[in-house]
Amino acid sequence: MNIVLFEALEPRNTLDLNDYRAKHIKKILKLKEGDSFKAGVINTSTGVSTITSVGEKSIEFTYTEEKPAEPLYPLTLLVGMVRPISMRRILREAVSLGVKRLILVPTDTGEKSYVQAGLYTSGEYRSILLDGAMQSGHCQLPEVVFTASLDEEYPYEGVKIALDNVEGSISLDRVEMNPEQGATLAVGPERGFSDRERILLGERGFILASFGTRILRTETICSAAVGVLLSRLGFL
């Protein structure tokens, strides 16, 4: 946690000691009265907070805004539904890397029950996004879009790329990029996209690209491919 984020902050604030952020401030950062820490308001601003008092039940602190939220990178990650434990990693790392938009979609080859996982129905996924943002030291959270299937129309932005180790005809690092337009990267579940979905992606203007000869887990390829694209777009 490299920044402590809140839904809203005033010049003076109170945080219950049972809150996980208060526990981090006291037990991990080991801060006391008079110490400062990096704080921010989700999707709004970042700044500095100074502890003014530590009581038996709460921490009191000030907040001074320093700069508005920095925009996320113009990269959309479309990913097929995978096991919740894997999706947690994908979401956390995508936010840490600065992805602007996440599109989560059931696929022909994926397990249908994943859509009803508690990760989504309970809203837990948002806490994962928040964790990723706090790891990155930034306050901006990406937009998250849930779609019914790849058949559902969506205004994908920039260069459209789908990773596919079956029909990928060009290496990801050779796809022409335009930093001003950004990109949309589609990654299938563990079993990849179906033949029907490959045809559909092609009709939607996606370039089928390869990412080496090794068969990787979805969470591994998401982080690695996003890193490659951000570098190609000139953001790293």
Domains (range + CATH), the chain: 4-68 (2.40.240.20), 73-232 (3.40.1280.10)
* Position 51 pLDDT exceeds 90: yes
| 92 membership: H or E segment, kind and range | helix 84-97
pLDDT value, residue 194: 94
Quick check: 69 and 47 in contact, CB under 8 A?
A: no
Quick check: 13 and 63 in contact, CB under 8 A?
A: yes
Q: Please state, in angstroms and rounded to a whole number, the distance separating the CA atoms of residues 48 and 44.
A: 14
* Position 153 pLDDT exceeds 90: no
* Position 187 pLDDT exceeds 90: yes
Q: Residue 26: exposed, middle, or buried by beta-carbon count in 10 A (0-12, 13-18, 19+)?
A: middle
Query: Per residue in 77-127, pLDDT tens?
Result: 999 999 999 999 999 999 999 999 999 999 999 898 999 999 999 999 999
* Position 215 pLDDT exceeds 90: no
The structure's pTM equals 0.93
Compute the radius of gyration of the chain from its Cα atoms.
20
